[in-house]
């Protein structure tokens, strides 16, 4: 007989509801209303999965999770909580939990998490897959190239402070099955937000995604690292804002290195642009253009009054190593005279001298620079993150002059409107109380 799922929760209503859901899905269940009997049940019945409420009377759920993982590191444990914080989620994941769900969560969210933990997650259509079915619409000479789908080998976590909110925050990265794409899952909502341009609603000093009231902010540095590493399927659990860390993408690269990557049994179509697309023009002081090319390459020119002056850099997307060495270490920057205005707008509350280059009247106030042309390299870092919001890799030569997030997203929307079909929005269900 197949091993059961063990439900550990002190609320009888929750156990009853979960029992019914799992039995409808064909699973056997065991139940415990306290932590004291859990270890004995696991030893006797060898469940295939444990659903563990982290807040129960007379037991520390984190300590219980630690004991479960010490006894059987291969036992999948999904932690649930009605009082979840990013610190709790990070701690649970560090101890080996395969997922963290905050109550109330939807039936779809629960079942997706269970299927993922059991290695049976269903496939979901993505923009890249739909584009593959529409190859006939792409002119000869610009046929899309196929690259292996890729996810991470194991879940990893990192925490820090949000650049604009100033609030302690963090992210949990989970592997996803082929065809899932990159999706954000806010801890405070069961809403899944695909990392695609359709969900961009804010580009003021950062790129943020929103869907039906749920939002994830400042996603560009993380997406840049995922783009550089070729990660195509990933779940990002987080709360509010992606942490700024040191202001670059280097720590995200280190996080991905620690997780390892896995090529999956699927190929992803890279979108090759079929003609030249442009927003803005040089006479207006800034422009962004992409034209057909057999690879992704970026020519960026940054120009500010002294003490910055003009910086130019040419980047060709090759592999994770070249991205990590030439682009990832470049930090975000800002002008001292703008800081007061940003603070009045409620932004940059998490900005510190160790996560942001500050430019004063006579130069950088917090040297040393990591590159002589670190500022223009960071603009390319941001652009790579925004470009990944097409939902698939892209081939084309990008030329940019003094552009920002708003220009990047405008270019993506122009490309998507004419060349790449829209990805279907994932379905949601009513919340499970």
Q: pLDDT by residue (tens digit) across 122-142?
A: 444 343 433 333 333 333 334
Residue bearing the bigger pLDDT, 198 or 92 = 198
Contact partners, residue 111, CB within 8 Å, separation at least 6 = 21, 25
pLDDT at 335 over 90: no
What distance in Å separates the CA atoms of residue 93 and residue 185, rounded to the nearest whole number?
15
Q: How far apart are CA 170 and CA 157, in angstroms?
A: 7
Going from the C-alpha of 377 to that of each of 205, 269, 355, the distances in angstroms are: 17, 27, 16
CA gap 418, 428 in Å, rounded: 29
Range from 182-191, 209-218, 236-245, 368-377 carrying the lowest mean pLDDT: 182-191
Q: What percent of the chain has pLDDT over 90?
A: 53
Q: At what angle do helices 12-24 and 107-117 cross, to 10 degrees?
A: 70
Cα 136 from chain centroid (whole Å): 31
Cβ–Cβ under 8 Å, residues 320 and 252: no
Q: What is the mean pLDDT of residues 95-124?
A: 78
- Is it true that 137-269 and 272-418 share their CATH fold? no
Q: Which CATH number fits domain 272-418: 3.30.1700.10, 3.40.50.300, 3.40.50.620, 3.40.1390.20?
A: 3.30.1700.10
The two tokens of residue 363 are 């130069």
Residue 124: the pLDDT is 40
Q: What is the pLDDT of residue 340?
A: 59
Encoding tokens for residue 14?
């929750």
pLDDT computed for residue 432 by the predictor: 34
Please name the CATH architecture into which domain 5-117 falls: 3-Layer(aba) Sandwich (3.40)
**Contact of 423 with 127, CB cutoff 8 Å:** yes
Cα torsion angle, 368, 373, 375, 380, sign: negative
Q: Domain 137-269 carries which CATH code?
A: 3.30.230.20
369, 370, 375, 378 alpha-carbon torsion, rounded to 10°: -150
Q: 23-27, 330-334, 371-375: which has the minimum mean pLDDT?
A: 23-27
Report the alpha-carbon distance of residue 187 to residue 201 in Å, rounded: 20
Least confident segment among 96-110, 127-141, 155-169, 352-366: 127-141
pLDDT of residue 109: 80
- Is residue 249's pLDDT more than 90? yes
Which pTM was predicted?
0.78
Tell me, rounded to whole angstroms, the distance of Cα 256 from its chain centroid: 12
**Where exactly are the structural domains of the chain?**
5-117, 137-269, 272-418
- pLDDT-above-70 percentage for the chain: 85
Q: What does the pLDDT look like over 13-69, one tens digit per residue?
A: 888 989 998 988 889 999 998 777 899 999 999 999 999 998 776 777 888 999 999
pLDDT at 141: 38
Give the SS3 label for residue 208. strand
pLDDT, the chain, mean: 84
Task: List the alpha helices (DSSP H) in 169-312.
Answer: 220-229, 250-259
* Active-site amino acid positions: 405
pLDDT band at 148 (very low <50, low <70, confident <90, very high): very high
The answer to whether residues 121 and 108 touch, using CB atoms and an 8 Å cutoff, is no
DSSP β-bridge partners for residue 123: none
Nearest-5° Cα angle at 3, 66 to 109:
70
- Residues 260-302 pLDDT 10s: 999 999 999 999 998 999 999 878 789 999 999 999 999 999 9
Q: Is 308 exposed, middle or buried (0-12, 13-18, 19+ CB in 10 A)?
A: middle
Residue 324, pLDDT score: 97
């Amino acid at each position: 007989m197949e091993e059961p799922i063990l439900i550990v929760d002190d609320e009888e209503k929750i156990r009853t509801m979960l029992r019914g859901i799992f039995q409808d899905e064909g699973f056997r269940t065991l139940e415990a209303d306290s932590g004291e009997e859990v270890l004995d049940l696991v030893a006797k019945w060898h469940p295939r999965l444990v659903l563990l409420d982290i807040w129960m009377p007379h037991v520390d759920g984190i300590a219980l999770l630690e004991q479960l993982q010490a006894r059987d590191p291969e036992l999948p444990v999904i932690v649930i909580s009605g009082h979840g914080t990013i610190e709790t989620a990070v701690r649970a994941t560090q101890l080996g939990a395969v997922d963290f769900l905050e109550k109330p969560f939807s039936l779809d969210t629960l079942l997706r998490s269970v299927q993922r933990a059991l290695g049976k997650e269903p496939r979901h259509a993505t923009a890249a897959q739909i584009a593959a079915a529409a190859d006939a619409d792409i002119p000869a000479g610009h046929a899309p190239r196929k690259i292996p789908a890729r996810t991470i080998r194991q879940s990893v976590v990192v925490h820090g402070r949000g650049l604009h909110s100033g609030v302690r925050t963090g992210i949990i990265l989970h592997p996803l099955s082929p065809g899932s794409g990159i999706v954000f899952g806010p801890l405070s909502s069961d809403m899944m937000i695909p990392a695609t341009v359709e969900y961009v609603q804010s580009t003021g000093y950062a790129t943020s995604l929103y869907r039906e009231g749920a939002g994830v902010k400042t996603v560009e540095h993380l997406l840049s690292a995922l783009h550089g590493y070729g990660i195509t399927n990933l779940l990002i659990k987080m709360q509010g804002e992606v942490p700024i860390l040191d202001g670059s993408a280097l720590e995200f690269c280190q996080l991905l290195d620690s997780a390892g990557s896995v090529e999956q049994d699927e190929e992803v179509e890279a979108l090759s642009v079929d003609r030249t697309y442009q927003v803005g023009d040089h006479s207006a002081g800034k422009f962004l253009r992409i034209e057909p090319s057999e690879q992704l390459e970026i020519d960026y020119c940054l120009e500010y009054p002294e003490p910055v002056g003009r910086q130019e850099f040419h980047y060709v997307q090759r592999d994770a190593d070249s991205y990590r060495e030439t682009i990832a270490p470049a930090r975000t920057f800002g002008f001292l005279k703008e800081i007061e205005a940003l603070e009045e707008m409620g932004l940059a509350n998490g900005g510190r001298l160790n996560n942001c280059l500050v430019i004063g009247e006579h130069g950088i106030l917090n040297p040393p620079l990591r590159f002589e042309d670190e500022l223009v390299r960071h603009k390319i870092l941001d652009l790579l993150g925004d470009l990944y919001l097409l939902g698939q890799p892209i081939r084309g030569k990008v030329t940019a002059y003094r552009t920002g997030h708003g220009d990047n997203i405008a270019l993506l929307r122009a490309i998507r409107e004419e060349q790449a079909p829209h990805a279907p929005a994932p379905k949601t269900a009513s919340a499970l109380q």
